[in-house]
Amino acid sequence: MQVKVGNVRGGTVGLTAGTALLAAVMSGCAGSSGADGKGRSDSPAKAEATTGAAAGTAASAGTIGAAGSACELPVSFDIAKHWKAKGIDAGAEMSKASKGSDSLSGDLAEAFLRQGPVTTACEIDAKPAGNIGFLRVWTGKPGDADARTVLREFLAAEDNVSEEKYHSFRTAAGVAGVEVEYLYTSKLLEETKKETALAVGTPDGPVVLHLGGMDTAEHEEMRPAYELAKRTLRVR
């Protein structure tokens, strides 16, 4: 879970930034006391996801990105079984927050919804699959910046990152992009955990996919869902 000024990304974007902040804190705790007392769920979906993680694969539950799907995006990709996608209208959310009674609401909405050159467009929740974390999709405006520059600016807007490792990739569909694996340290929680993100360019602007997680263990268990999205990524 992450709660910090400038990049508050622990949970679903709510109707107001204030309630979203509460949701962020609560989402990191919800489901954190499983039957083993170590914050792990023993649900069938979690067992299935863990088996998939061990095998490095994730079963597809369909494709998002096209018009009429849960999230309409400049790209399309498969989401993993049991994961739930939700589209986010960042512009509408920030406009709503800016009309609130205090400036803090607007600041928090900005922290939730914008990171560097991109804004949140979709979040895919792993909780139905038994994990605590999200695969988030961020989109930007068309411009001259290449995928590596966009990704570097995305990370530059996230404080307390280290050990960044960038590399290029190309999908079977011919989509070229840049990926980064790094460590994020929460000063609030005094924890360090692994995160992963990728960026690709499209005629409609850059797209960033980011995988976090409550901790490194959750991140690794969710990684097959991220790899599924990356492997099936297509520019629409």
Per-chain mean pLDDT for the chain: 79
CA distance 43 to 49: 10
Cα torsion through 110, 116, 122, 127, rounded to 10 = -80
- Per-residue pLDDT of 14-57, as tens digits, reads 433 343 433 333 333 333 333 333 344 444 555 454 444 444 67
Q: Are strands 134-139 and 161-170 parallel, antiparallel or unpaired?
A: unpaired
Residue 232 C-alpha from the chain's centroid: 17
- Residue 28's contacts (CB-CB under 8 Å, 6 or more residues apart) are 1, 3, 10, 11, 132, 214
Mean pLDDT to the nearest integer, 93-109 = 66
Mean pLDDT to the nearest integer, 163-169 = 97
The least confident of 7-11, 35-39, 73-77, 168-172 is: 35-39
Sign (positive or negative) of CA dihedral 177, 50, 57, 131: negative
HSE, side-chain direction, 13 A CA sphere, residue 212: 27
Buried b (16+ CB within 10 A) or exposed e, 30-48: ebeeeeeeebbbebebbeb
- Per-residue pLDDT of 61-72, as tens digits, reads 899 999 999 999
What pTM does this model have?
Answer: 0.77
Decide: 200 and 187 in contact? Cβ < 8 Å.
no
Q: What is the DSSP letter of 220?
A: H
What domains can you pick out in the chain, each with its CATH number?
A: 41-89+114-235 (3.40.1000.10)
CA-closest candidate to residue 209, choices 128, 108, 140, 131? 140
Question: Could you tell me the pLDDT band of residue 144, with boundaries at 50, 70 and 90?
Answer: confident
Decide: 233 and 171 in contact? Cβ < 8 Å.
yes
Decide: 120 and 90 in contact? Cβ < 8 Å.
yes
